[in-house]
Structure 1
Amino acid sequence: MKIQSPETYQNEIITAVRNESDIVFVSYSALEKTEEKIKFALAKILEKHNRIDLFTPIFSCIKELISNATKANAKKILMEEGVIKNPDDSEEVVRKVRSILNEKSLLEYGIKAKQHKMSTRIYLKVYKKHLFIEVINNIPLNKRDMAKVNDRIKKSSRYDNIAEYFMDNPDPEAEGMGLGLSMVVVLLKNINITHRNFVLTTDGTTKTYAKMLIPLS
């Protein structure tokens, strides 16, 4: 089910949760309206399975993954527009991505993202007492970036606190991807979900997939 209409989304979500149908959100920027729909869907799923205690950490994970995807898409758009002159200059990338991902510029960025067909898709699916969450963006990762991401996930799985992780593993040039993924790993660990239930993959050509598997029993 693809959620589109603001007037009917709650009824559509309730029906989808009852039938255990796929729920899909398509976002072009991290707008509050999209977040509210995701919150509503997640809450209804967790209520059905008597696991509302998982709401805050799981929504925080989803929000981090959407933020990462939005940043990656924004970087690509700024490169295509020539705003980012040197994509290997992390300081320039961080500064210019942040300049458009603020409250004032989000709506304008969302229009640009739609024009460039740079969406973020969020899937929620319940199957055999597990909640499967997938966040997909239109930017592939190369082998070097994938190795870096997997290293961060593995390292952060040893920590119970995100602040401790970054004190031991500072990365002043990080574009946000490292922080977001490490945050997800630590949040999952704090609700007794192994980092093996969180996987980031890429097809190497058009997309990157962030997947979480949440036990509901």
Structure 2
Amino acid sequence: METIDRTIAEGRTISLVTWILTDYGEFLLHHIAAGILQRSGRSELLDIVYPAVKELVINATKANMKRVFFAEQGIDAMNSADYDKGMTLFKDKLTETMIMHHRKDFKDRDYKITITFYYTDKVMNIKVKNNFPLLPREEERIREKFERAQSFTSLLDFYMAHGDDTEGAGLGITMVGILLDQSGIDRHAFTVFEKPGYSETAARLEIPLHAEYIPRRRQFELELQRSGKTIEDLRRTFRPSVR
């Protein structure tokens, strides 16, 4: 803990690597989030930040499990129809025990999860990364889940609408969006993206810690107006400030 506390005091980036989130892993995530927020005088955000980042790690673990399961079942994940059939089987069989049983498979396939905290006094960014790109159908499903999540303001509403089908309906995405919304943080602070040229997929949380901080989405809009560039051109060169 001394190393983590010293790193936070110095404002340096912290990364954790895991294959399955254990109780100790949860403790570390909580400790790091609490330390960064305390450093910035925003400890009241811990009840928002910690559940959100934990949910993202759980989602990343399910993504790893899905790839192992599809390989075992001989499912062609690049085929949309086959993917959807595989997801029906996967949802029926997915349990915590199943995930724990495949821990060695995650290590053998290098399906690790990297959680990175990078921050200043004005903003905390958290990135949860899988080391493989999105499948075509996954990208479609994520867009659908983000769009659907916009219509819910509470988890109770979500459960009432989807009953027991929360796994397929996007509970994780909805939960994170609601947590941000209820804390007054724009839902656009939560994004899922692929990094061009890299074999990875990441979910990112951008948590403003100071009233003066301008979120990266707003920075992009302002730079778009100032530069006169097209959206596509600016996306290739845009580097948001985290100060």
* Distance change in 2, residues 1:22/1:29 (3 Å): same
Q: Distance in 2 between matches of 1:106 and 1:61?
A: 20
- Map 1:27-106; keep pairs closer than 5 Å: 27-82=18-73, 87-89=83-85, 90-98=87-95, 101-102=96-97, 106=99
Provide structure 1 residue ranges, at least 5 long, that are not aligned to the other structure.
1-9
Q: CA deviation at 1:106?
A: 5.0
Q: Counterpart of 1:23?
A: 14
Backbone CA RMSD of aligned residues: 2.5
Q: How many residues are paired up?
A: 203
Tell me which of 162, 165, 182 is aligned to 2:174. Answer: 182
Contact 2:128 2:204 in 1 (8 A): yes
Q: Distance in 2 between matches of 1:139 and 1:11?
A: 33
Q: Distance in 2 between matches of 1:210 and 1:49?
A: 23
Q: What is the TM-score normalised by the length of structure 2?
A: 0.74
Letter in 1 for 2:5: I
The structure with the largest alpha-carbon Rg is: 2
Q: CA deviation at 1:140?
A: 2.3
Contact 2:152 2:174 in 1 (8 A): no
Richer in helix (by share): 2
Q: Counterpart of 2:152?
A: 159
Contact 2:145 2:169 in 1 (8 A): no
Q: Distance in 1 between matches of 2:143 and 2:58?
A: 18
Q: Distance in 2 between matches of 1:87 and 1:150?
A: 16
Q: Distance in 2 between matches of 1:146 and 1:107?
A: 26
Q: What is the TM-score normalised by the length of structure 1?
A: 0.83
Q: CA deviation at 1:179?
A: 0.9
3-state SS of paired residue (2:157): helix
Contact 2:159 2:166 in 1 (8 A): no
Q: Deviations over 1:155-184 (max 9, x none)?
A: 32343202213434x386664571101110
Letter in 1 for 2:105: K
Moved over 6 A (4+): none
* Distance change in 2, residues 1:157/1:82 (3 Å): closer
Provide structure 2 residue ranges, at least 5 long, that are not aligned to the other structure.
77-81, 211-243
- 2:123 is the alignment partner of 1:130: yes
Tell me which of 189, 193, 197 is aligned to 2:185. Answer: 193
Structure ranking higher on relative contact order (CA contacts 8 Å, 6+ apart) = 1
Q: CA deviation at 1:74?
A: 0.6
Q: Distance in 2 between matches of 1:174 and 1:126?
A: 32
Q: CA deviation at 1:83?
A: 7.5
